[in-house]
Amino acid sequence: MVAAQAGAQLAMMYTVPIYFQVTQRVSSTIAGAHLFPAVIGNTIGGIAAGIIINRTGRYKALLVFAAISSITGYTLMLLRWHGHTSWAESLYVFPGGLGTGIAFSAGFISLQASIDPKDKAAAAAGLFMTTTLGTIIGMAGTSAIIQGYLRYSVQLDLTRLGMSQAEISEIIRKASESVSYIEHATGAVQKVLIEGYVKGIEYGHGLSIIFASITLITASLLKERKL
Domain boundaries, the chain: 2-221
Do 102 and 141 meet the contact criterion of CB atoms below 8 Å apart?
no
> Does the pLDDT value for residue 120 go beyond 80?
no
**Does 225 or 42 have the greater pLDDT score?**
42
Query: What pLDDT score was predicted for residue 51?
Result: 93
Sign of the torsion angle spanned by Cα atoms 84, 89, 91, 95 = negative
- pLDDT at 60 (0 to 100): 92
Which residues are CB-contacts of 213 (< 8 A; sequence separation ≥ 6)?
Answer: 67, 71
- Amino acid 92: pLDDT: 97
Distance, in Å, from the CA atom of 211 to the CA atom of 71, rounded to the nearest integer, reads 9
What are the tens digits of pLDDT across the range 33-63? 999 999 999 999 999 999 999 899 899 999 9
Under CATH, domain 2-221 is a member of which superfamily?
Answer: MFS general substrate transporter like domains (1.20.1250.20)
Q: How confident is the model over 142-189, as pLDDT tens digits?
A: 999 999 999 999 999 999 999 999 999 999 999 999 899 998 898 899
Q: Give the percent of the chain with pLDDT over 90.
A: 79
Contact of 209 with 73, CB cutoff 8 Å: no
Lowest pLDDT segment from 91-100, 119-128, 147-156, 186-195: 119-128
Backbone region of residue 83 per phi and psi (left: phi > 0; alpha: psi in -120 to 50; beta: other values) = left
Mean pLDDT of the chain: 93
Closest CA to 70 of 106, 88, 94, 50: 94
Query: Is residue 13 classed exposed, middle or buried when 0-12, 13-18 and 19+ CB atoms within 10 A define those classes?
Result: buried
Q: Quick one: average pLDDT of 69-80? A: 98
Contact 148, 200 (CB under 8 A): yes
State how far Cα 79 lies from the chain centre: 15
